[in-house]
Structure 1
Amino acid sequence: MLKVQEIRELIKLVDQSSIDEFVYEYEGSKIKMKKSQAAHKAVEMIAMPAAMEAVQQVQAPVHVQPAVAVAVAEPVQEPKKEEIKETANLHKITSPMVGTFYQSPTPDADSYVIAGSKVTKDSVVCIVEAMKLFNEIEAEVNGEIVEVLVKDGQLVEYGQPLFLVKPE
């Protein structure tokens, strides 16, 4: 795991460079930095238990121009064999882009779908917002929503599973 000072140096280097995104992975730890268009943003830290001391030292907002967001992710755990068997026959609806996941068309409206909802291949199941464009995501298959894999307002990556659907 990188030390706090090393993370700060990386933030400065990424900020001063022309790159927009930087990812560092080592022994199950991952640091991801993206430049933001906003003038000031605080550094976001999600840390592993072993790195909690370092996180407490960095939790004060760090302001850079343009802002750089940092996330330290927990190690990826391999799915258990039982989970693989259960999801093998399910269709995954994945995100076609990087953006923000929304379950409903407006904050005060009902979700497009919830676990147990019946969908057709043309049913809109969510919205992924990317660069102020709201993209409706369709189910792609006829079936029943088994599980919603992301939370409303969560950032999603390209190809990230959003829903599990039991095809009909």
Structure 2
Amino acid sequence: MKVQEIRELIKLVDQSSIEEFVFESEGSKVEMKKSSGVTYSLAPQTAAVQEPVQAVPVQAVPATTEENPIVQEAPVPEAPKSAAADENLHKITSPMVGTFYQSPSPDADPYVKPGARVSADTVVCIVEAMKLFNEIEAEVNGEIVEILVKDGQLVEYGQPLFSVKPQ
């Protein structure tokens, strides 16, 4: 089953009143279930890897007193510079649930690195789903700014994989 066929199935199930859909063909199985949050999954299901949350230091603000009527303001932590720049970046997202690979084989060089120039049809990674290796293309001409997932990481449908500065 091709990626585009899976995408079309997802759209059709999403637009219908069907709550659960299972499709089996030639040893492949696609299973989709709707919930109140409308989540799609491909069998076999895998647990998502969650990145650790980074703590932001907070400084205490002294209370005002009669001896010290001036209140000092706690410094506001700066937002990461990538958050402001993200508005202008294109995100290459995963078209399916699977395992992300940066290179065609473990001993090969990655398809792309930050700073690499890509065209819309440049292969940037592979997502393995149901023992099928699906090449993911850049979809846009530009420069790879950041790789958002680690090699071998499980990815979800629609999860951003790369940030690209369009050109």
TM-score range normalised by the length of the shorter chain: 0.5 to 0.7
Provide closer, same or farther for how the CA distance between residues 70 and 139 of structure 1 changes in structure 2, counting only shifts above 3 A: closer
Q: Which residue of 2 aligns with 1:131?
A: 130
Report 1:56-75 matches (<5 A): none
- 1:166 to partner: Cα distance: 0.4
Dislocated runs of 4+, deviation >4 Å? 68-77
Q: Secondary structure at the match of 2:88?
A: coil
Q: Does the 8 Å contact 1:36/1:69 carry over to 2?
A: no
1:153 counterpart = 2:145: no
What CA deviation, in whole Å up to 9, does each residue of 1:109-132 have, x standing for no partner?
100000010100000000000010
Q: How do residues 99-138 of structure 1 correspond to structure 2 at under 5 angstroms? A: 99-138=98-137
Q: Is the 8 A contact 2:48 2:156 kept in 1?
A: no
- Summarize the Cα distance change of 1:97–1:161 in structure 2 as closer, same or farther, 3 Å threshold: same
Question: 1:69 and 1:157, CA in 2 relative to 1: closer, same or farther beyond 3 A?
Answer: closer
Q: State the Cα RMSD in Å.
A: 3.3
Mapped to 2, the partners of 1:72 and 1:150 lie a distance apart of 11
Structure 2 segments unaligned to the other structure (5+ residues): 1-31, 34-42, 56-78
Given the superposition, is the C-alpha separation of residues 69 and 99 from structure 1 closer, same or farther in structure 2, using an over 3 Å criterion?
closer
Q: Is contact 2:49-2:153 (8 Å) kept?
A: no
User: 1:86: how far off?
Assistant: 1.1
SS of 2:84's equivalent in the other structure is helix
The 3 A distance-change label for structure 1 pair 156 and 70 is closer
| CA offsets 1:40-89 (integer angstroms, 9 cap, x no match) | xxxxxxxxxxxxxxxxxxxxxxxxxxxx9697776799xx4754321100
Closer, same or farther: CA 108–82 of 1 in aligned 2, 3 Å: closer
**Percent of aligned pairs sharing the same letter:** 67
Structure number with greater Rg is 2
SS in 2 for 1:88: helix
TM-score by length of 1: 0.54
C-alpha distance in 2, partners of 1:71/1:148? 16
Alignment of 1:88-99 (within 5 A): 88-99=87-98
- TM-score, structure 2 normalization: 0.54
- Structure 1 unaligned spans of 5+: 1-19, 22-34, 38-67
